[in-house]
Amino acid sequence: MEHSKPQDLAILVQKKLKLTKGNLPTPQLSVLEDLFTCLFYTSMCKEESDLIRVTVTIIDPENPDPNPPKKIVSERWSFVRFEKPIPMNTKSLAKLSKAADPSSSSLAAYHDEKGNLYVWGMIDQAMHYQNFLNYESDTNSEQPGLFQVSINDIGTLEVLFDYELLATLKQNVLVKRYLDVLTIGPISKILRKNAEFLKSTLRQYIEEAHPDETYADWEDFLDNLWIQTFSRLLLKIQNYHHGGAILIADDSADLDVKYRIHYDRLTLAMVSHAKASIDNFVSDRTIVSDMKAGKKAVSRSLYLKELGSYYIKTGTADEIKGAISFIASQTCVDGVVLFDRRLVTNGFGAVLRAKKMPRKIHLSSTATATAKSLTPHDPKHYGTRHRSMIAYCWNHPTALGLVISQDGDIRVFSKVEDKLIMWENIKTQQFLSNNRSRRKIGE
């Protein structure tokens, strides 16, 4: 939705609150409008020469934890109150943002009877929330308050309900839907096909090491490991706020690669991690089965297998994380990071030399890129980085190109039949609907 304002975001959020938080008081529309307007203008400020990045949780100080779970986990959120509430305005938010890194905490805010907004405290343990969203953790827990709103960039507000991304206001554009192209549609098919190396290697491993296991039971796990690793790479590149580009191509035609390397550690780490995950699961399941069957002790060899595979699994997870960081930093050099289909890095700082451009490209409003979802665009409308990627993917139909802007926007390019398709507003984080997150939390 173009030509949007903070007031449009307020209307959307109030509707959502009435649907999902019906048993809790819903702020008046005027309160929400004041909240988003204040945050919108705060995003344009600087504090000690830094852009403002902060998360605000709307939470009632008189009833901050209305529905606590039966089991309280150690890493669950808690709040700390200020001695006196602080009126919410651009100046106070800018000051407080320096003490509330969104990766670790959020500001607790609410409104009084007259509708005046104030900050009454801080909430901790946000790192676990961020780790889950960024595929760094498999566990999540319920989130505090009515909702969270984050300042991510100048004029950019992001509203989340638990683990569901409701909408993002980017200057004057309200984005209410992000395309899940990594798991649905043509881009997903390309990535899953690229994962064949991982899957064929693990198929052979399962047949040899665990003949009682069925490979089909593990195929989704392997696809998800590949796609989530790719998502994590994109997230890491976004966090640099430098901008960059990734190209997955079959060869080096029409490429001038300034820094040629051969880095296959990310791929090999995924293979090792998958093997250790299977080993650990099988050992753990055997122990549980033995206990249920009445055995009073675990054999030494089985215990060592379970323990050893757990440590290898943990270690290879850290190895994947380190390899992702290593590759992502290469995008800070001008040019493209070049991958083959196995996600082996073959160079960075690459210049795309293809010249022939399509007369038009097609912007898809859906992940599946159906004919009805395509809107033609003039490629000359885009900048140099985008045009060079458009030309390359047009001339090399098997290539997959991604351009990450400095503001974090990701655009994906691929030639589908006779059309060069572009997708934007790409989903990279592990957002869940409210219902799905509640089910997972309760498990």
Which tokens is 175 given? 């984005």
Q: DSSP string spanning 352-376?
A: E------S-EEEESSTT--GGGEEE
- 351 contacts 335 by C-beta, under 8 angstroms: yes
pLDDT value at position 138?
80
pLDDT value at position 440?
40
Rg value, the chain, Cα = 24
Which tokens is 332 given? 């800070």
- Amino acid, single-letter form, for residue 139: T
pLDDT value at position 164?
87
Domains and their CATH numbers in the chain: 6-177 (no CATH), 186-423 (3.40.1700.10)
pLDDT value at position 22?
67
Residues with Cβ within 8 Å of residue 101, at least 6 apart in sequence: 53
Q: Is 177 exposed, middle or buried (0-12, 13-18, 19+ CB in 10 A)?
A: exposed
Which tokens is 22 given? 């019906």
Q: Is 384 exposed, middle or buried (0-12, 13-18, 19+ CB in 10 A)?
A: exposed
pLDDT value at position 443?
37
pLDDT in tens, the chain (443 residues): 778 999 999 999 999 998 886 677 899 999 999 999 999 999 999 888 888 999 999 999 999 998 888 888 888 999 999 999 999 999 999 999 999 999 999 999 999 999 999 999 999 999 888 888 888 888 777 789 999 999 998 999 999 998 888 999 999 999 988 899 999 999 999 999 999 999 999 999 999 999 999 999 999 999 999 999 999 999 999 988 888 999 999 888 899 999 999 999 999 999 999 999 999 999 999 999 988 888 888 899 999 999 999 999 999 999 999 999 999 999 999 999 999 999 999 999 999 999 999 999 999 999 999 999 999 999 999 999 999 999 999 999 999 999 999 888 899 999 999 999 999 989 998 876 654 443 343 33
